[in-house]
């Protein structure tokens, strides 16, 4: 499972010109699942994500989590995070099948909602994501099947 985490001042996602998810200060997260990912990886990364200390404290150090600053998450499903680029045209054979990925995305979203407010993009839709990256701060979080 892979997350591209971006600290944002604001972010939104549109489907067919309509906003389906929008946050102010918080984290916009691209979420991708590999073929072997399970609820175990989703649970681990949900806990890691909401506790990730990448917001500044009173001394200007990245020492606060999205929970600490009263922010929210905007989770955007993104199967292309598992693109293989050995050839010029990307292959997505390493990504989890859409039906299983939809279930896992919903599960991951619910795990995050246990800790913080969450907005989402729409799985399988053509989305337009808008964001104002704060910092900029962009971090990759990864948990591969079977890793401790």
Give, for all 148 residues of the chain, the pLDDT tens digit: 999 999 999 999 999 999 999 999 999 999 999 999 999 999 999 999 999 999 999 999 999 999 999 999 999 999 999 988 989 999 998 999 999 999 999 999 999 999 999 999 999 999 999 999 999 999 999 987 666 5
Where do the H-state alpha helices sit in 5-148?
A: 39-51, 98-113
Alpha-carbon span 30 to 116, nearest angstrom: 17
Q: Annotated catalytic, 102?
A: no
φ/ψ of 99, rounded to 5, equals -65, -45
Task: Please tell me the pTM assigned to this model.
Answer: 0.94
Correct CATH for 2-142 of 3.30.70.1250, 3.40.30.20, 3.50.80.10, 3.40.50.1450: 3.50.80.10
Domain layout of the chain by residue ranges? 2-142
Q: Which of 38, 80, 85, 120 is catalytic?
A: 80
């Amino acid at each position: 499972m892979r997350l591209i985490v971006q600290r944002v001042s604001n972010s939104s996602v549109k489907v067919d010109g309509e906003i389906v998810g929008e946050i102010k200060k918080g984290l916009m997260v691209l979420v991708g699942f590999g073929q072997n990912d399970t609820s175990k990886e989703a649970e681990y990364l949900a806990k890691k994500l909401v506790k990730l200390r990448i917001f500044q404290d009173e001394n200007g150090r990245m020492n606060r989590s999205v929970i600490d600053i009263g922010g929210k998450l905007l989770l955007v499903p993104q199967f292309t995070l598992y693109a293989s680029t050995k050839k010029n045209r990307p292959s997505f054979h390493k990504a989890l099948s859409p039906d299983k990925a939809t279930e896992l995305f919903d599960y991951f979203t619910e795990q995050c909602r246990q800790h913080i407010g969450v907005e989402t993009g729409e799985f399988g839709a053509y989305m337009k994501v808008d964001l104002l990256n704060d910092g900029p701060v962009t971090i990759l979080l990864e948990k591969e099947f079977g890793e401790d």
